[in-house]
Amino acid sequence: MAEVSVLEGNYTYGVTSTLKGFNLPMDVTCSSGEALWCRKAGCDVVHPYATHCSAAGSRLQVVFCP
């Protein structure tokens, strides 16, 4: 599952995690900053690679991994 929000200060905040019933591995990349990824079942927001903040207006691309 991926959640993307626009926060105050014109930042985009994203979280990736897998929940029961929503466990498809994915990558979320943006035109500025680092990628978010959760490539296995069991990722959660505690892992540092699961959250990210980038400048608002960045283009996001979601890739579902096999």
Q: What is the pLDDT of residues 16-29, one digit of tens each?
A: 555 566 666 666 66
Question: Could you give the 3-state DSSP secondary structure of residue 46?
Answer: coil
Mean pLDDT of 3-7: 61
Residues 6+ apart with CB under 8 A from 7: 13, 53
**Would the pLDDT of 14 be above 60?**
no
**CB-neighbour burial class of residue 26 (10 A; exposed 0-12, middle 13-18, buried 19+):** middle
pLDDT at res. 31: 67
Residue 32, domain CATH: 2.60.110.10
What's the pTM?
Answer: 0.41
Tally of domains in the chain: 1
Q: In terms of residue numbers, what domain contains 16? A: 2-64
